[in-house]
Amino acid sequence: MTGTLALVCCGGVLFASGTALLMARPLTRILLGIVLIGNGVNILVLATSGAAGRAALLYPDSDPGRMADPLPQAFILTAIVITLAVTAFLVTMAYRSWQHSGNDDVPDDIEDIRVVRRATYAEERERLRAAYRKRRHEYRALARGEEEREAREHSAYQRLGTARDRYREMRRRARADARVFRARQARAEETAEEIEGEDDPWQTILGADR
Amino acid sequence: MSGGGQPSEAAAVMSALVPLPVILPLCAAGLKLAIGARLERLQRFISAGVLAAVLVVSLVLLVAADRHGPQVMFAGGWAPPVGIVLVADRLSALMLVISSAVTLCVLVYSVGQGMADNDEVTPLSVFHPSYLVLVAGVSDTFLAGDLFNLYVGFELMLTASYVLMTIGGTLSRIRAGATYAVVSLLSSMLFLAAVAMVYAATGTVTMAQLPARLDALPDGVGMLIHIALLGVFAIKAAVFPMAAWLPDSYPTAPAPVTAVFAGLLTKVGVYAILRTQTLLFPGHRIGDVLMVLALLSLLVGILGAVAQTDLKRLLSFTLISHMGYMVFGIGLATHGGISGAVFYVAHHITVQTTLFLVAGLIERRSGTTDLQSLGGLARLSPLLGVMFFVPAMNLAGIPPLSGFLGKLGLLRAGIDDGGALAYVLVAGGTATSLLTLYALAKAWNLAFWRAPTPEMCAAGTVLEDTEADSDDDEDEDEAALGPYTRSTAPHVVLDRWEPAPVRRRGAATFGGQEITTSATLPPSMTVATAGLVLFGLAFTVLAGPLFSLTDRAADELIARTPYVEAVTR
């Protein structure tokens, strides 16, 4: 088989530039990339038919050796029709996307993000829970230590009173902290809701997990 | 077995039957477009009638191909290198039978869904013609006797599938459809380039002429063509590294569309891989690469499924995973492996389609397929429970069912092969089967088995840790800190959490509106799903004859000569 290097190079360049365009987000660019690749492939198919020659059916008495191979041409015609149809479809899709969202970017998979977020959240929750338990133990150990110290120094009644008072004071602070924290959390959620314009986003992520 | 001895008139009739599975749906699609949205009853009758006719023709072809060898049709009487050849051997005919039975059931289901949603105008004028073109494309790929016709079949099928995927044109479907269309288009372009390479190297694209000419090629060239073809088909079949597009795009389409895509479109890729590995490049080193890909597909797919909380996405991931079983059988390239793979394809088409249809019914019953929001369906709708449970256990491979038999056949073929890689695959296959059971049991527990009302579910699942602490004061502390499940201690930095993405809204009708939920399931949808469940069970009952059929198909595939001789005689 003899072919021209020019056709092959041309096909290669079209393929490369099409691939570069495919990397973009907007659907119209992707579409242009696909059109380029489609034409590149068609040229590659044409390159398989070998050297240029006369048309097969128009000159019945010419030497078959001097005719161009008609089969790849038939392939290309079919492929062109298919590419045309699909291009039309993609253009409609880009237009529809623009109607919906004002752009034609192809966004990421939402469900995928959701699954990843859920895993991160579960890990974070475990970490926080462990930290909370540790802190509670520390409070309790502290309180117990105080209690014992006071037991050595004071009468039973006083001892009970002071230790309990201190413990309660600490507990009161922890609760106050927690209230502040929850208020902030609630506000954050409200803000998130305003941003989303939807119901509670944590409910969205966690569902029955919470 | 042999092609000789049949009367010539019978051969002519058979030869005339071969193109019908492609022509009938195409003509019907054209007719429907001409009729438009009028005459709904006639429309439904045409679709169902045509698909039933295709089923009958496929059955006749299967019997003929089994008794008399591959049935061949030369379009316009042109000889192979120039004209289009359609070939129905045992494998093609078996695939046709399964696919036409499944598409018929899905059609009945989709008509039921259209009626239940009262959007008969939109789907009938767009859905039915596209669906019929899709069926024609699938049949054409199964029957194609040359690589270019295979390409055309793929394109026919894919173009119809783009329309079905984005039907209604909602934002989520456009988003999913864009990914799907771009990936499919790219693979088609690569396929065409591969066809060009084959033609440049051998001077023909007829599959019956290729074996001899490909064998004569230098090793490097043959290898290049082989890799190009396999790469393309692996994208279509959603084998692991090329599978990322599938769970992203499938779940957003309407339930019957997802079902038929999951059942058929990926299996068409498997069919093409099977042809490549048996007819074009038998006994090639690439089998080992296929086995590694199969292992990765099996494990990555099923681990993905375990992580999902949406039933449709979970099923999409099991689909990727179970592709691994079929590729495993093909990669083994032994008689048992190929026979097992063909059996598994037949089983998996049916079961996977059924599960997606059931997911559609669940959506109809409760408005969502999010496992976290579902619950108590087994009590609310026992029939739905049965229709989910049977195919789910079938997919996981619980002993009496065909999923078990198919896996058993493949694993036994792996052990017979005896290579180290085969044993690794056997272990991976077993682990995947168990993990499938785990994922589906999780889905069953969440959606069907737990207490019915959402409030009860919430109450039942949240209070797990507080019981462990007995001290009153501590309980008070917990109470003061709020339910700890909402992130707890005061030192949390709130800014870490970005606003969460919104849950996918269930836009499940053809037209893209909210679906109409109902306490009682629409009868035709239920009947279609139940029919497919029974069809899946039939594989269990008829496993003996079916396995002997796939054995004979594997004989034919490995021998190569019946196919080649039937076309080139």
Distance from CA of B259 to the nearest CA of A (A): 19
pTM, full prediction: 0.80
Mutate which of B159, B180, B188, B206 to test chain A, going by most A C-beta atoms within 10 A? B188
Task: Say if residue B449's pLDDT is above 90.
Answer: no
- Specify whether A175 is located in the same domain as A145: yes
Residue B192 sits at the chain A interface (C-beta within 8 Å): yes
Q: Do A48 and B199 touch (CB under 8 A)?
A: yes
Residue A90 sits at the chain B interface (C-beta within 8 Å): yes
Task: Indicate the SS3 state at residue B547.
Answer: helix
pLDDT band at B493 (very low <50, low <70, confident <90, very high): very low
* pLDDT the model gives residue A43: 92
Residues of chain B neighbouring A101 (CB-CB closer than 8 A): 171
- Specify whether A119 is located in the same domain as A94: no
Task: Say if residue B341's pLDDT is above 90.
Answer: yes
**In contact, B509 and A203? CB cutoff 8 Å:** no
* pLDDT the model gives residue B515: 63
> Which 175-194 residues of chain A touch chain B by CB within 8 A?
175, 177-182, 184-185, 188, 191-192
Distance from CA of A154 to the nearest CA of B (A): 24
- Specify whether A139 is located in the same domain as A94: no
Residues of chain A neighbouring B179 (CB-CB closer than 8 A): 106, 109
* pLDDT the model gives residue A205: 45
- Specify whether A76 is located in the same domain as A149: no
- Specify whether A118 is located in the same domain as A161: yes
A105, β-bridge pairs: A26
Residue B41 sits at the chain A interface (C-beta within 8 Å): no
Tell me how far apart the alpha carbons of residues A200 and B502 are, in angstroms, rounded to a whole number.
9
- Specify whether A114 is located in the same domain as A97: no
Task: Encode burial over A64-99: b for 16+ CB neighbours within 10 A, e otherwise.
Answer: eeeeebebbeebbebbeebbeebbebbeebbebbbe
Q: Please give the tally of structural domains in chain A.
A: 2
Mutate which of A96, A98, A105, A138 to test chain B, going by most B C-beta atoms within 10 A? A96
- Specify whether A13 is located in the same domain as A77: yes
Give the mean model confidence (pLDDT) for residues B59-79.
87
Query: In which residue are the tokens 């006797």 written?
Result: B145
- Looking at per-residue confidence, does B1 or B201 come out higher? B201
Domain final residue, candidates A73, A101, A129: A101
End-to-end C-alpha distance for chain A, whole angstroms: 69
Task: Say if residue B26's pLDDT is above 80.
Answer: yes
- Specify whether A72 is located in the same domain as A153: no
Domain final residue, candidates A69, A101, A133: A101
Distant-in-sequence, close-in-space partners of A140: CB < 8 Å, separation ≥ 6: none
- Specify whether A115 is located in the same domain as A197: yes
* pLDDT the model gives residue B399: 86
Q: Which helix (H) or strand (E) holds B74?
A: strand B71-74
A65-74, B403-412, B455-464, B553-562: least confident range? B455-464
Tell me how far apart the alpha carbons of residues B403 and B158 are, in angstroms, rounded to a whole number.
28
Give tens-digit pLDDT for B202-219: 888 888 888 888 888 888
Instruction: Provide the residue range defining the domain that includes A38.
Output: 5-101
* pLDDT the model gives residue A179: 83
* pLDDT the model gives residue B132: 93
Task: Indicate the SS3 state at residue B206.
Answer: strand
Give tens-digit pLDDT for B141-192: 999 989 999 999 999 999 999 999 888 778 888 888 888 999 999 999 999 9
* pLDDT the model gives residue A191: 58
* pLDDT the model gives residue B124: 52
Mean pLDDT of chain B: 82
Distance from CA of A185 to the nearest CA of B (A): 7
Task: Say if residue A3's pLDDT is above 70.
Answer: no
Parallel/antiparallel/unpaired status of strands B85-88 and B71-74: antiparallel
* pLDDT the model gives residue A157: 59
- Specify whether A94 is located in the same domain as A19: yes
- Specify whether A84 is located in the same domain as A148: no
pLDDT above 90 coverage of chain A, percent: 20
pLDDT band at A154 (very low <50, low <70, confident <90, very high): low
- Specify whether A9 is located in the same domain as A95: yes
> Which 53-92 residues of chain B touch chain A by CB within 8 A?
82
> Which 28-87 residues of chain A touch chain B by CB within 8 A?
30, 34, 37-38, 41, 44-45, 47-48, 71-72, 75, 78-79, 82, 85-86
* pLDDT the model gives residue A39: 93
Domain final residue, candidates A67, A101, A135: A101
Task: Say if residue B392's pLDDT is above 90.
Answer: yes
pLDDT above 90 coverage of chain B, percent: 42
ipTM: 0.80
Tokens of B533: 């469940």
